[in-house]
Amino acid sequence: MNDIPEIYVKKLSLVIGEQVILKNITANFTGGKIYGLVGHNGSGKTMLMKCICGFVRPTTGGVRVNNQWIDIERDFPESIGAIIETPGFIPYYTAQKNLCLLAGLRRKIGQQEVYKAIEAVGLNPNEKKTVGKYSLGMRQRLGIAQAIMESPQLLILDEPMNGLDPEGADSIRKLLISMKNPQRIIIVASHIKQDIEQLCDEVYFMEKGVLKNYSLGEK
């Protein structure tokens, strides 16, 4: 696809019961940039990401990805990789078998691409240890591997550095920077200052479901 990808969030609100989760959000995300979402726990970052991915249907407004409205014309974006909340894998399978099973669902990639993704996040694709014996950091790396393995046009990452030591977090930041190109949108939610300062071209701040532009110089 030669066109630069675009995510357009239009007047999106989400109400669950009597609680307003997202309030009249409008924003544009375009290819070639890494966007940051910052805000306290419960501010709405994860729910906004779920709406973009098509996992949650907004109460009003909507999300358009490349001229198609999610939940109206498509159930979810055509080319997307995501890690939202805790990655889930079959604990008695290896990393390689888990990702090969996932890759088989869409049949876009083969074993070679799976291996490359596992290596890219600093894991061994030939590791015989099952995922159930992985540390939190190793599972997080594997979650990132599944998000990137199909080289998606949209990459949505919710707190991707969770569980990683400083060296591991630095290697993932370098990986994400290397993936930035005009044919890809990367959105990262993080509470880690280094993520925002080192990764992001544009940053949005969320507070009580409201989205606004954020200066990297703000505290």
Number of domains in the chain: 2
57 and 140 fall within a common domain: no
What is the CATH number for 56? 3.40.50.300
Domain assignment of residue 121, given as a range: 85-151
Last residue within a domain, chosen from 107, 127, 151: 151
Q: Is the pLDDT of residue 2 over 80?
A: no
Residues 201, 206, 210, 212, CA torsion sign: negative
109-146 pLDDT, tens digit per residue, is: 999 999 999 999 999 999 999 999 999 999 999 999 99
Which tokens sit at 213?
Answer: 């532009």
75-92 pLDDT, tens digit per residue, is: 889 899 999 987 789 999
Query: What is d(CA 150, CA 157) in angstroms, rounded to the nearest whole number?
Result: 15
72 and 27 fall within a common domain: yes
141 and 189 fall within a common domain: no
- Which residue has tokens 């061994």? 124
49 and 144 fall within a common domain: no
Q: Is the pLDDT of residue 218 over 50?
A: no
1 and 74 fall within a common domain: yes
Q: Decide if 219 is inside a domain.
A: no
130 and 172 fall within a common domain: no
pLDDT at 72: 77
Give the SS3 label for residue 106: helix
Q: Decide if 122 is inside a domain.
A: yes
28 and 126 fall within a common domain: no
Q: Decide if 130 is inside a domain.
A: yes
Which tokens sit at 163?
Answer: 């569980």
Q: Is the pLDDT of residue 13 over 70?
A: yes
5 and 74 fall within a common domain: yes
19-69 pLDDT, tens digit per residue, is: 999 999 999 999 999 999 999 888 999 999 999 999 999 999 999 999 899
pLDDT at 192: 85
Percent of the chain with pLDDT over 90: 79
